[in-house]
Amino acid sequence: MKEHNVVASQVVEPVRHAVTVPLASDAAFRLFTTDFNSWWPAHHIGEADLEKAIIEPAVGGRWYERGVDGSECDWGEVLTYDPPSRIVLRWQLDGEWKYDADPAHGSEVEVTFTPDGPGRTKVQLEHRHFERHGSQGQAVHDGVGGDGGWAGLLQLYADKAVA
Amino acid sequence: MGAYEENGLGALGALGDRTRQAIVERLVNGPCSVGDLASELPVSRPAVSQHLRVLKDAGLVVDEAAGTRRVYRINPDGVLAIRAYLDRMWGHALASFEAAAIRAAQDGGSDPEPAGTLDEQGGQT
């Protein structure tokens, strides 16, 4: 089944979103990272309600949430910290939204900040390598594996996603 | 391999439909019965059942009996379900980021632009 994961790693289309904001790139970068909690919506994974979501501003820094009860849940890690232009984070929540400590099972989020005229910045986000979350691959074994099934499905999806 | 092709088409449909995305998003927060989903979403119970069948055929959700009920949850190995959820999550998150940036620009006393522009790429098709 290994070959299916290899194929999958080539074809799962990344999620991409972009937004242009009325801030210079250093301010936009700071808002995204240091002030992450000031804009992050209420998405959280812990059982407790979200008190704070945090990106530690350095390579190797934690990306995590703190619940109102003081509990902490890791989301991932800062892989690249390059103000004011780029940050790369590893997303380590698995399909059941639990933290997976094995970095090989984590996907990646890259955010770039590109000046777009005075006081404006284009912020582009790409979340990629979803196939790493599927490395346990029960669906591959049981459901859609075999004779190009899974690979074919993903290729169809990739074609559709870029259409 | 007709069955596999059907699965493939099922997964495409699953990710292209807003109601099914909403179901996936809800199931990320925990397993649900058909009745639970129907009460939380603006769709009928038979419609929920039909959407769940599509999601199940696509390998995005799995179901199991719990007493007299049938409970659905995200297939933890469903890579495309993870992708669909995160696509929506980042869409919401960047809209929120944009709003915060506009507030910050106004608080900073600079001449704010009327609004940022939100353009989504690689999202729903």
pLDDT for B101-119, tens place per residue?
999 999 875 444 444 445 4
How high is the pLDDT of residue B14? 65
How high is the pLDDT of residue A145? 35
Tell me yes or no: is domain A2-162 CATH 3.40.800.10.
Answer: no
* Residue B124 in contact with partner chain A when CB distance is under 8 A: no
The pLDDT mean for chain B works out to: 77
DSSP element (H, E) containing B79: helix B79-107
Mean pLDDT of B73-95: 84
* Residue A137 in contact with partner chain B when CB distance is under 8 A: yes
**Lowest-pLDDT range, A43-47, A133-137, B24-28?**
A133-137
Q: Is it true that the peptide bond before A83 is cis, omega within 30 degrees of 0?
A: no
Residue A112 has, within 13 A of its CA and on its CB side, a CA count of 6
Chain A residue with CA closest to B125: the answer is: A161
C-alpha to C-alpha distance for A11 and A139, rounded to whole angstroms: 17
The pLDDT mean for chain A works out to: 79
C-alpha to C-alpha distance for A29 and A16, rounded to whole angstroms: 18
What is this structure's pTM? 0.69
Distances (CA, A) of B74 to A50, B5, B20: 22, 21, 12
CATH of span B2-79: 1.10.10.10
C-alpha to C-alpha distance for A4 and A7, rounded to whole angstroms: 5
Mean pLDDT of B11-28: 75
Which of B9, B80, B101 is opposite residue A31, by nearest beta carbon? Answer: B101
C-alpha to C-alpha distance for A71 and A73, rounded to whole angstroms: 7
CB contact under 8 A, B104 and A125: no
Q: Express each pLDDT in B50-72 by its tens digit.
A: 999 988 888 889 999 988 889 99
C-alpha to C-alpha distance for B54 and B51, rounded to whole angstroms: 5
Give helix then strand counts, H and E, for chain B. 5, 4
How high is the pLDDT of residue A37? 93
- Statement: residue B4 has pLDDT above 70: no
Domain ranges, ordered by start, for chain A = 2-162
How high is the pLDDT of residue A91? 93
Q: Determine the distance in angstroms separating the CA of A60 from the nearest CA of chain B, rounded to an integer.
A: 22
Report phi then psi at A64, rounded to 5: -155, 170
Chain B residue with CA closest to A116: the answer is: B116
